[in-house]
Structure formats: structure tokens, C-alpha cells
């Protein structure tokens, strides 16, 4: 047995003939935060989407909680209840209230009791300081508020692993901090296991247990968080950090 929640071995991914991911291997332990860094187009989103079954992979293997993932739609559908994901664009259903957005999957997919989930949801909304907005519609919320709701919606499933892909990238600067604070709290208070793609280097430096630095679909280095920001192993990563004003 291993305490790794997720393990990726020699993963290759193609878009048509073109190889987007090359021989990706890494693991993440329970409670650990892995940050994916790298220039635009390096494959961060492709990798994170592959870990959630949103992209097919050609060869290699993914293990979740020690079990090899059979990459068929049914398996991924089940796994997505344990692997929460939040993207850059908060894809809330516009015709549903905040509360109904949150209730939808736990009730319809997980078959949980609606009142139980509602209680859960209100607690989570408290945590992100949006309890007052339970009956609002997404259009009545700011981008930052919508993104906090998207996080709550994922958490309402009680995931074992959370994936965040540039969740603050399309937010106004004053909204960014509130969203990052919630993610940091998830790590500090709940010991949530997370894989995070971000361009917020100060945030990444604070939260990352481990950094995977990608370029051209390859992991150029895998370095403990603190070490990466102080002494990256590769010149390419040092240059990247410089370009990010870090
Ligand atoms: P990042 O998130 O690091 O910016 P992506 O994973 O989005 O990078 O993209 C990695 C590479 O894969 C890029 O060259 C991108 O153009 C290409 N790519 C991403 N999605 C697709 C797709 N659906 N079809 C073809 N190429 C894609
Ligand atoms: Mg991306």
C-alpha cells in the first residue's frame, strides 16, 4: 500500500498526431499540494484535464487510491465524484440559484438527501462568506463571488482530490485574494489534497509542497516547493520565475 492518492506513470497524450504530453510521471500524497508551473502552452491544462478524464490519454497509467484507472466513461464518471475540478471560467448554470447549483450534483449524481446537502452547502457558503447569496442567480454575482461558488460546488461532493486550473486568471485583481485565501484555507484547515495551476507566484510559493515545472509537455523538474522558488534546478525554471517577477 502507498499513501499516494494519485499516481501517474509514463503518461503520453496526443492531439491527433501531435504529442502534447511526454512521459509524465509523478505522485501526490494525501494532504499534499502539487503546483503545476510552466509557460503558456506547456501542457498544464492538458495534464490536469487528463487527470479528470476530460482528455483521453494514449499510454501510461493513472492510479487513484491505489487502483489503476480503466479509462472508460463510466469509471471517470464515478471518479469525478472524488476528484473535484474548478476551471478559469466559472461554469455555473445561469438559470439556477446559487443553492441549486450546489445541490445539483450531490443530490442527482450522489443521491444524497437534499436537506443534508443543503445544510452542508450553507456551512460551505458561510466559509466563503456568501451565505447571503444562496438565493441569488449567478448573473447577480461578481466574478470573484462566482468563482467562490464554483469552489463550494466542487467541495459539496466531498472530493478526495481537488484540481484548480488558473481559477483566478480571469478575475479583477481585487477579487483574486479572496479566492486564493479559500484555497489556502482548504490546505491549512482541511488538509485537502490539491493540484493547482496558477500564475500567482507568491501564492504558489506559500502553498506548494511540490512544484512540477513543465515545458513542451514534459516535466523539466520536480522540486519541493520551497526549494523551487529559492533554487530551481533548471536554468529554464529560473528564467521563468524571473519573467514572472518573482
Ligand atoms: P497550458 O495550460 O500549459 O497553457 P495547454 O495544456 O492548454 O497548455 O496546451 C498545451 C498544448 O496543447 C498547446 O500547444 C495547445 O495549443 C495544445 N492543445 C491544447 N488543447 C488542444 C486541443 N483540444 N487540440 C489540439 N491541441 C491542443
Ligand atoms: Mg492552461
Q: How confident is the model at residue 148 (pLDDT cuts 50, 70, 90)?
A: very high
Q: How many domains does the chain have?
A: 1
Domain that holds residue 136: 92-158
Asked whether residue 96 is assigned to any structural domain, the reply reads: yes
Portion of the chain with pLDDT greater than 90, in percent: 95
With a cut of 60, say whether residue 1 has pLDDT above it.
Answer: no
Ligand 1 pocket, residue 43 CB under 6 Å: yes
Residues 6 or more apart whose Cβ sits within 8 Å of residue 45: 165, 166, 197
Mean pLDDT, rounded, for 150-160: 97
Mean pLDDT, rounded, for 91-117: 96
Asked whether residue 170 is assigned to any structural domain, the reply reads: no
- Structure-block grid coordinates of residue 39: 509557460
Asked whether residue 102 is assigned to any structural domain, the reply reads: yes
Q: Which residues of 41-78 are buried (b: 16+ CB within 10 A; e: fewer)?
A: ebbbbbbbbbbbbebebeebebbbbeeebeeeeeebee
Asked whether residue 167 is assigned to any structural domain, the reply reads: no
Asked whether residue 137 is assigned to any structural domain, the reply reads: yes
**191, 116, 110: which is closest to 154 by C-alpha?**
110
Ligand sitting nearest the alpha carbon of 41: 1
Asked whether residue 54 is assigned to any structural domain, the reply reads: no
Q: Mutation test of ligand 1: which of 35, 37, 43, 198 has the most ligand atoms closer than 8 Å to its C-beta?
A: 43
Q: How far is the CA of 20 from the centre of ligand 1 (A)?
A: 7
Asked whether residue 119 is assigned to any structural domain, the reply reads: yes
**pLDDT for 109:** 94
Q: Over the stretch 118-142, which tens digit does the pLDDT of each residue have?
A: 999 999 999 999 999 999 999 999 9
Amino acid at each position: 500500500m502507498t499513501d499516494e492518492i494519485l499516481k501517474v506513470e509514463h503518461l503520453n497524450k496526443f492531439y491527433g498526431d501531435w504529442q502534447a504530453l511526454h512521459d509524465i510521471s509523478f505522485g501526490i500524497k494525501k494532504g499534499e499540494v502539487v503546483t503545476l508551473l510552466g509557460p503558456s502552452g506547456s501542457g498544464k491544462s492538458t495534464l490536469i484535464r487528463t487527470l479528470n478524464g476530460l482528455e483521453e490519454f494514449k499510454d501510461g497509467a493513472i492510479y487513484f487510491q491505489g487502483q489503476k484507472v480503466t479509462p472508460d466513461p463510466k469509471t471517470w464518471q464515478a471518479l469525478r465524484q472524488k476528484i473535484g475540478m474548478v476551471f478559469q471560467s466559472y461554469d455555473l448554470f445561469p438559470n439556477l440559484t446559487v443553492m441549486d447549483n450546489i445541490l445539483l450534483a450531490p443530490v442527482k449524481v450522489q443521491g444524497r438527501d437534499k436537506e443534508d446537502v443543503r445544510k452542508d452547502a450553507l456551512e460551505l457558503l458561510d466559509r466563503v462568506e456568501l451565505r447571503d447569496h444562496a438565493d441569488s442567480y449567478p448573473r447577480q454575482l461578481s466574478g470573484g463571488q462566482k468563482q467562490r461558488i464554483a469552489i463550494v460546488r466542487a467541495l459539496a461532493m466531498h472530493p478526495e482530490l481537488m484540481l484548480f486550473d488558473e481559477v483566478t486568471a480571469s478575475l479583477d485583481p481585487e477579487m483574486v485574494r479572496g479566492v486564493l485565501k479559500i484555497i489556502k484555507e482548504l490546505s491549512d484547515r482541511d488538509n485537502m489534497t490539491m493540484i493547482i495551476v496558477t500564475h500567482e507566484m507568491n501564492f504558489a510559493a506559500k502553498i506548494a509542497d511540490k512544484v512540477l515545472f513543465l515545458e513542451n509537455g514534459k516535466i523539466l523538474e520536480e522540486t519541493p516547493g520551497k526549494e523551487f522558488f529559492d533554487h530551481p534546478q533548471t536554468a529554464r525554471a529560473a528564467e521563468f520565475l524571473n519573467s514572472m517577477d518573482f
